[in-house]
Chains A and B, each alone.
Chain A
Amino acid sequence: MINKIAKAFENPNKKAFIAFITAGDPDADSTVKFILEMAKAGADLIEVGIPFSDPTAEGVVIQEANIRSLANGMTTDGAFDIVRRVRETCDIPICFMTYANPVYHYGYDRFFTKCEELGVDGIIVPDMPYEEKAEMEGPANAHNVSVISMIAPTSESRIQMIAKEANGFIYVVSSMGVTGVRSEIKTDIDSIVKSIKEVTDVPCAIGFGISKPEQAADMASKADGAIVGSAIVRIVAEHGKDSAPYLYDYVKSMKDAVANV
């Protein structure tokens, strides 16, 4: 199986749009439908959130999605099944986003064996920083899954250390704090990306706080792509099982915005 993350960033003239969705919110059937819809609308990579009881890096919107999803019975195996169903018709690059404990508890080798079988290309784990990633990265790489590195506004002297070992893509955290929609992003993204680009060709996507097409265009212009989570999860919170057309319109507007910068 070929790791497909590079595909999301392959067109140098069109920046990537990465969409996050919480698995099982409001149910597994809907998540499958929403992923396919967002792929159709032009998303270049989908982050599938495996819900966790205590998502300490998330703001209120995604916290509540995690709670809804778990209350509806979603599990790690359920998230794998969602990917299996998506893969029947769609080969869009997919990364899981979750916390260290669900993966650790499932067993690293067992988890990444399944990822490889189903064609999951990467994993984003906000509570697994550079210092701790080895225990997960070994088994992940053995199964051709990229552990995505995060770089934050406070990373400073750590930026190049992290970037040098990054693979798949680099998740540049735009703002302090947790995920969630923000009216303004104040971090000096340009200097972070410049520092990254000095040491690696791995593409950079910017996430946290982005909700509007203008913001996405602005962020994508500074890097290789933009990531949106809370704004998408908010659409699902509002429209539930009927979210598909709203997600299509939203993702299309965001992809159009980032593709033309």
Chain B
Amino acid sequence: MSKGRFGEFGGQYISETLMNELIKLEEAYEHYKNDPEFNAELTKLLNEYAGRPSLLYYAEKMTKDLGGAKIYLKREDLNHTGSHKINNVLGQALLAKKMGKTRLIAETGAGQHGVATATAAALLGMECEIFMGKEDTVRQALNVYRMELLGAKVNAVTTGTMTLKDAVNDAMREWSNRCDDTHYCLGSVMGPHPFPTIVRDFQSVISKEAREQILAIEGKLPAAVLACVGGGSNAIGTFYNFINDEGVELIGCEAGGKGVDTPETAATMATGTLGIFHGMKSYFCQDEYGQIAPVYSISAGLDYPGVGPEHAYLRDSGRAKYVPITDDEAVEAFEYLSKVEGIIPAIESSHAIAQVMKIAKNYSPDQSIICCVSGRGDKDVAAIARYRGVDLHD
């Protein structure tokens, strides 16, 4: 079995042109992850620029309203740039800079990872180019302009379904065209090794903090930890330091779209089968001939036909469970958290909130659950208004 495996999942299914680049990246990462100077620099960026540690907020009104477990929200939405994406991006950008790279490229779905990458590039003085499906540039026009403000060039991808998967395709094509000065700042725990490991390590700061915070507040571990899952970066970050805590349930919430019994879904765990795509062996939504399916979700960030290999492993080993949440449920949760707690969550994160709303009452008040609010929802306001039939004018 090749490197970078989580059980049978993972691997390096990528063109020969990129193999030496991946090997160099792995070597650089293995070196710098133990380098005190690198870690000091990264910690400084995370704390003084991105605003870490993020709060673990006790959602008291929500807790009372739902009845059952005490609900804690891990506020990744409060990070600079408004989502968890900055954790990974600062790590990778710093690593790329140490490797002598002068240019960052990245894919983006909702635009959160693109904004984070453009931000890190601006801060570290690097060139930046973002690949975004044309469909998503329309859904998330504000984030396109935001990336341009930050000095990035945004390429609207017009192939395939014109969403996240196609953005990844074009970012990979661009990287294989130009890798000597360019680092592909992959935004999720997917792709070929070493990306699933690097991104997980940089995102694991979420659960490192959350675990310390909950122990300090509650004096014991939570009963459950929840996060939304597209590729799975905020989820793996939220789960990682709880994986060895056997009593803690890990629940990933994927995009059910219009329902897992319809073709308009992006619920890979519920509907996908084993396959090889985007550099990894994992579960994918695909047809009987292994053609990747055109997936759908109201959330551009979860609108991806695969899932990171470590999640596939956590699911099959029984350590984590994954549930689909429909568009309707996510929109209700989006509105609920806004009204009850005064927190407008990203539509992605709303998938996890929706599951909290379903299960909170199954626990007793002396138990707690942690839900990651992976991003803030400002970017989604126009889309939710449209979903509710409200016509917004500037």
Which residues of A are at the interface with B, using a C-beta cutoff of 8 A? 52-54, 56-57, 59, 63, 67, 70, 75-77, 99-106, 126-132, 150-158, 162, 173, 176-178
Contacts and interface: CB of A to CB of B under 8 A. Distances in A.
B169 A54 contact: yes
B169 A131 contact: no
B179 A154 contact: yes
A76 B286 CA distance: 14
Interface in B283-318: 284, 286, 288-292
Contacts of B3: 131
Nearest to B17: A152
A52 B291 contact: yes
B11 A53 contact: no
Number of contact residues on B: which range applies?
35 or more
What are the 6 tightest A-B residue pairs by CB atom distance, in nearest-first order? Answer: A105-B290, A177-B177, A152-B17, A100-B276, A101-B290, A53-B291
B160 interface: yes
Contact of A101 (B169, B176, B179, B275): B275
A129 B15 contact: yes
Contacts of B12: 129, 131-132
A77 B17 CA distance: 30
Contacts of B278: 56
B17 A173 contact: yes
A69 B20 CA distance: 33
B279 interface: yes
A151 B16 contact: yes
Contacts of A75: 289
Q: Which of the listed residues A53, A59, A70, A173 has the most CB atoms from chain B within 10 Å of its own CB?
A: A53
B169 A56 contact: yes
Main secondary structure of the interface of B (DSSP, over half): mixed
Q: Which of the listed residues A67, A128, A162 has the most CB atoms from chain B within 10 Å of its own CB?
A: A128
B277 interface: yes
Contacts of A177: 17, 173, 176-178
Nearest to B23: A158
Given A77-B289, A100-B13, A131-B19, 7 more contacts: A129-B14, A129-B15, A131-B2, A154-B20, A156-B20, A176-B176, A177-B178
Given A104-B276, A129-B15, A53 B160 contact: yes
B289 A105 contact: yes
Contact of A130 (B19, B165, B276): B19
Contact of A154 (B17, B165, B277): B17
B17 A176 contact: yes
Contact of A150 (B13, B15, B20, B173): B15
Contacts of B2: 131-132
B176 A128 contact: no
B47 interface: no
Interface string B254-292: 000000000000000000010111110000101011111
Contacts of B19: 129-131, 152, 154-155, 158
A151 B12 CA distance: 16
Nearest to A162: B16
Contacts of B165: 54
Given A106-B290, A129-B19, A158-B19, A54 B277 contact: yes
